[in-house]
């Protein structure tokens, strides 16, 4: 498929080096002048903008982590005033405090450009009809894909999540050719289609899936492609970086990361040292053109490799391989990030509950199911079914409101959950991808 922006996407590597360095230098000056937070960080690390002379000098810059975005006051973090902001997005934080990211018009434009390039690389164009079945709202998935697809000139069906039968009806009725959603949701749609006697190959024009926001495997890819007749394309991003950003091309061999916008590194998560090409480690991202919120050497917590070799498709930009794990205990349930500490935070606010809890994640059919078992305090363990049910419902809704996720809550008798001598193992993940 023709690149969306051939000048940049096919640019020789040496020219990309120059372009990237120019943007990196401009970025450090902007950070130093406009982000109080990053200015102080650079001072503390003894780095001045003048120290950044080569691309490798980026390693002199201090890392950023999710906690920074959550805890640093907005007036110290943000590099622009409200006047220049056009949008906010947020994801739920580990202690109920959301991580907020702001965007200027240029931030939104660059984000959409990145997605448009990715969708074109995945084989989509102006004749395509893309159903966006990621959540619209504070989460970045829905609007990210939406703006990118419109930029590409494709037609968007802004379906958002839920109501599978209506999703299928739209796919059929509107002649939808591509769908953007989590891989598990596409599998689920396939199952629902089967139940109502609908066959994707026979009854629809659906040929491409733009699938991300949660880990999946090559095994899942081949199963989906065989069963549904849909080319399954991986897409990656995080709300801190902007949202979904990078897609595989039709070679399906890693997601092209646009060097004019991004500097990608892989580090050893223990030592913080940068690793060599092809080595597996924690992904660290610098967004070179961001105006509103700095994303500089941001530690994503995701584990992957980066392939620097030129792709068969001719694009000269590096390719990010599948995310193979996390450096922390973050779970992704139906595309939503959940830290066990968030669940703990919600539970511990209830005086009726004890200290022990267990999180069980299973894949029922194609979708994830979350069960939270929690011990009652001896004094609150009473034989009143109605009261217990009321408490259970209260906790279920607190979890839903704080984490935006539906969990089944089970209140168990005191002293029935396993105890641990060392580090507690609170999560039982029974999913097989």
Q: Which is nearer to ligand ADP, 91 or 261 (CB)?
A: 91
Q: Provide the minimum distance between the beta carbon of 213 and Zn ion in the complex, in angstroms, as a whole number.
A: 21
Closer residue to ligand ADP (CB): 193 or 303? 303
Q: Strands (DSSP E) along 178-276, which ranges?
A: 178-181, 208-212, 231-238, 243-247, 255-256, 262-267
- Choices 250-258, 329-337, 384-392, 415-423 (CB under 5 A): range interacting with Zn ion: 250-258
DSSP 272-306: -PBPPTT--EEEEEEETT-SSS---SEEEEEEE-E
In terms of CB distance, is 255 or 361 closer to Zn ion? 255
Burial class from Cβ neighbours inside 10 Å (0-12, 13-18, 19+) for residue 294 reads buried
We find the least distance from the C-beta atom of residue 19 to ligand ADP, in angstroms, to be 26
Q: How far is the CB of 258 from Zn ion (least distance, A)?
A: 12
Q: 65 or 313, CB closer to Zn ion?
A: 313
Q: Is 238 near ligand ADP (CB under 6 A)?
A: yes
Figure out which of the listed residues 248, 302, 344, 356 binds ligand ADP, where binding follows CB under 6 A.
Answer: 302
User: How far from 389 is each of 171, 381, 386, 392, 416, CA to CA, in Å?
Assistant: 40, 12, 5, 5, 19
d(CA 245, CA 175): 26
Q: Which is closer to ligand ADP, CB of 91 or CB of 177?
A: 91
Q: Distance (Å, rounded) from C-alpha 138 to C-alpha 339? A: 18
Report the candidate in 319, 317, 315 with the shortest Cα–Cα distance to residue 10: 315
Among positions 251-280, residues that touch ligand ADP (CB under 6 A) are: none
Find all residues with CB under 8 Å of 274, minimum gap 6, and list them: 59, 265, 266, 267
- Cβ proximity to ligand ADP, 306 vs 376, nearer residue: 306
Q: What are phi and psi of 274, to 5 degrees?
A: -75, 140
Matching residue, tokens 């399906």: 252
**Residue from 68, 107, 128, 214 that binds ligand ADP (CB under 6 A)?**
214
Taking CB under 6 A as the binding criterion, the range among 193-201, 236-244, 347-355, 410-418 that sits at the site for ligand ADP is: 236-244
Residue 335 and residue 368: Cα distance in Å, rounded? 9
Coil, strand or helix: which one is 228? helix
Footprint of ligand ADP on 310-369 (CB under 6 A): 323, 332, 335, 337
Binding of Zn ion at residue 311 (CB under 5 A)? yes
294's contact among Zn ion, ligand ADP, none, with CB below 5 to 8 A by partner kind, is: none
Given candidates 131, 234, 262, 402, which one binds ligand ADP under the rule CB under 6 A? 234
Rounded least distance, CB 295 to ligand ADP, Å: 12
- The closest alpha carbon to 303, from 335, 262, 268, belongs to 268
CA 80 to chain centre: 25
CB of 190 to ligand ADP, least distance (A): 19
Residue 333's H or E segment, with its range, is strand 331-333
CA distances to 186, 306, 391 from 278, rounded to whole Å, are 30, 5, 51
249 binds Zn ion (CB under 5 A): yes
The residue (of 142 and 190) whose beta carbon lies closer to ligand ADP is 142
Out of 19, 313, 388, 424, which residue is the one contacting Zn ion (CB under 5 A)?
Answer: 313
* Part in contact with ligand ADP (CB under 6 A); list of ranges 10-18, 77-85, 139-147, 172-180: 139-147
| 64 binding ligand ADP? (CB under 6 A) | no
Site string for ligand ADP, 73-112 (x = CB under 6 A): ------------------x---------------------
Tell me which residue has tokens 């079914």: 385
Per DSSP, helices labelled H in 229-278 are: none
Number of amino acids touching ligand ADP (CB under 6 A) = 22
For residues 151-190, which are near ligand ADP according to CB under 6 A? none
Using CB distances below 5 to 8 A depending on partner kind, what does residue 311 bind out of ligand ADP, Zn ion, none? Answer: Zn ion
219-to-53, 183, 216, 375, 407 alpha-carbon distances in Å: 44, 12, 8, 37, 27
Per the listing, tokens 């779970």 go with 331
The DSSP secondary-structure symbol of 154 reads -
Q: Does 315 bind Zn ion (CB under 5 A)?
A: yes
Of 85-93, 134-142, 311-319, 327-335: span binding Zn ion (CB under 5 A): 311-319
Write out the residues near ligand ADP by the rule CB under 6 A: 91, 139-141, 212-215, 234-239, 243-244, 300, 302, 323, 332, 335, 337
């Amino acid at each position: 498929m023709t690149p969306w922006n051939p000048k940049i996407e096919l640019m020789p590597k040496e020219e990309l080096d120059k372009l990237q360095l120019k943007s990196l230098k401009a970025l450090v000056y902007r950070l130093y002048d406009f982000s109080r937070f990053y200015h102080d960080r650079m001072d503390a690390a003894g780095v001045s903008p003048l120290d950044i002379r080569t691309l490798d000098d980026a390693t002199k810059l201090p890392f950023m982590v999710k906690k920074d975005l959550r805890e640093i006051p907005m007036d110290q973090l943000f590099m622009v005033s409200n006047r220049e902001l056009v949008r906010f997005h947020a994801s739920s934080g580990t202690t109920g405090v959301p991580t907020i990211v702001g965007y200027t018009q240029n931030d939104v434009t660059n984000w959409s450009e990145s997605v448009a390039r990715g969708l074109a690389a995945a084989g989509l164009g102006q004749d395509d009809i893309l159903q966006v079945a990621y959540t619209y709202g504070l989460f970045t998935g829905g609007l990210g894909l939406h703006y990118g697809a419109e930029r590409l000139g494709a037609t968007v069906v802004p379906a958002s999540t839920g109501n599978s039968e209506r999703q299928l009806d739209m796919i059929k009725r509107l002649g939808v050719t591509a769908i953007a959603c989590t891989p598990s949701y596409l599998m689920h749609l396939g199952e629902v289609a089967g139940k109502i006697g609908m066959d994707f190959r026979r009854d629809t024009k659906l040929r491409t899936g733009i699938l991300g926001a949660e880990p999946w495997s090559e095994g899942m890819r081949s199963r989906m492609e065989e069963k549904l007749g849909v080319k399954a394309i991986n897409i990656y991003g995080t709300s801190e970086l902007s949202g979904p950003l990078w897609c595989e091309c039709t070679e399906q061999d890693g997601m092209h990361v646009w060097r004019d916008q991004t500097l990608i590194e892989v580090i050893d998560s223990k030592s913080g040292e940068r690793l060599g090409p092809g080595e597996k480690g924690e992904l660290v991202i610098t967004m070179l053109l961001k105006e509103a919120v700095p994303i500089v050497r941001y530690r994503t917590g995701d584990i992957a490799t980066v392939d620097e070799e030129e792709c068969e498709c001719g694009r000269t930009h590096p390719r990010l391989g599948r995310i193979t794990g996390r450096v922390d205990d973050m779970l992704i349930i139906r595309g939503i990030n959940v830290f066990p500490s968030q669940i703990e935070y919600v539970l511990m606010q209830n005086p009726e509950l004890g200290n022990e809890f267990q999180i069980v994640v299973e894949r029922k059919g194609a979708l994830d199911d979350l069960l939270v078992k929690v011990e009652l305090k001896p004094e609150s363990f009473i034989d009143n079914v109605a009261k217990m049910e009321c408490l259970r419902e209260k906790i279920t809704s607190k979890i839903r409101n704080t984490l935006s996720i539906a969990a089944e809550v089970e209140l168990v008798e005191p002293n029935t959950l396993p105890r641990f001598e060392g580090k507690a193992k609170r999560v039982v993940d029974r999913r097989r991808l």
